[in-house]
Structure 1
Amino acid sequence: MMKDPFGGMLLNTAFRILVPFSLVYAVYVLILGESSPGGGFQAGVVMGFGIILARLILGEDSGIFNIRLKNSLALAGCGTFIYTLAGWLTLAGGGKFLDYSFLPVAMEETHELHALGILMIETGVTICVMMTILNIMDAVVRRSED
């Protein structure tokens, strides 16, 4: 599974510039996803891109961003759990499914509760999408090595 890095001076320099910016941009898209274009899916794709780029350039044995298949499947499940937890918390608070004004969190303004609920959902979607992209990449690489 991509044991040997593609490395070289040019690729390593590009890696050091592109990957941190792509991860910071993904967090930016995630945080501002409620009020601007973007959100969980786009942030997950950009984060997945950053991790795939790191794996391709540095190789899998570098230890950075080294997420195994079992762990990535578990993290994708955790992302789905975070998404559904937002809905179940609103039900536990006495409201309808995904009615954020019933989140059991001590906030005075309902728009703050709405922003928190959306952030929970988008965080779960981001984690799930990122790990799904990594699972697909691992499956393609494993298949090509067979």
Structure 2
Amino acid sequence: MRLDILLRISSKIFIPFIVIFAFYVQFHGDYGPGGGFQAGVIFASAIILYTIIFGSTKALKDFPEWIFHLMIPLGVIIFAGTGFLSIINGFNFLDYDALAHYPKHGQHIGIISIEIGVFVTVIGSMVSIFYAFVNRGKK
């Protein structure tokens, strides 16, 4: 039995758990340690592990590079859009009280949306940097 078969099988088992843990860190970041940056790095590590184990050709077919290039500005737009939504409602930039009728709900909505923006940007950045290293000799 070859070692790469063991790596492929074990990574197929572990990658879904890595992704689930990333979402746990993302949505638990409101109440404890964690948040968008940490969750984004964990999620990106699952994609990087997939690329290392199954090869860049298969990974680029399954997860095209343009998706991650698109995720970087999308996360920034989510982040900035949250702030501008506050301005549109007559409050200061990133004043989360403007996002709901009750300030506590607005704080929760604001923090979650900011963390989602960071999450998306970090995934796009980390995987794009990794793909840049993977593809450096191919272009």
User: Please, what TM-score do these two structures have when normalized by structure 1?
Assistant: 0.84
Contact 2:71 2:123 in 1 (8 A): no
Write out aligned runs for 1:21-32 (5 A). 21-32=17-28
* Residue of structure 1 aligned with 2:51, choices 34, 48, 55: 55
Report what 1:128 is aligned to. 121
Shift of 1:49: 0.1
Give the paired residue count.
135
Return the structure number with greater helix share.
Answer: 2
Report what 2:9 is aligned to. 13
Shift of 1:144: 4.3
- Structure 1: tracts of 5 or more residues without a match: 1-6
In structure 2, give the amino acid aligned to 1:53. Answer: L
User: Deviation string for 1:41-93 (max 9, x for gaps)?
Assistant: 000000000011112222232643x122x332121110111011110001111
| Whole-angstrom CA distance in 1 between matches of 2:105 and 2:113 | 12
Query: Over aligned residue pairs, what C-alpha RMSD do you find?
Result: 1.7
* Residue of structure 1 aligned with 2:106, choices 96, 108, 113: 113
Shift of 1:14: 1.4
User: Please, what TM-score do these two structures have when normalized by structure 2?
Assistant: 0.88
| Whole-angstrom CA distance in 2 between matches of 1:11 and 1:144 | 25
Shift of 1:12: 1.6
| Whole-angstrom CA distance in 2 between matches of 1:92 and 1:129 | 27
| Whole-angstrom CA distance in 1 between matches of 2:16 and 2:8 | 13
In structure 2, give the amino acid aligned to 1:110. Answer: P
Write out aligned runs for 1:27-106 (5 A). 27-59=23-55, 60-61=57-58, 63-64=61-62, 66-68=63-65, 70-103=66-99
SS in 1 for 2:136: helix
| Whole-angstrom CA distance in 2 between matches of 1:96 and 1:108 | 16
The percentage of aligned residue pairs carrying the same residue is 33
| Whole-angstrom CA distance in 2 between matches of 1:67 and 1:128 | 16
| Whole-angstrom CA distance in 2 between matches of 1:16 and 1:131 | 22
- Structure 2: tracts of 5 or more residues without a match: none
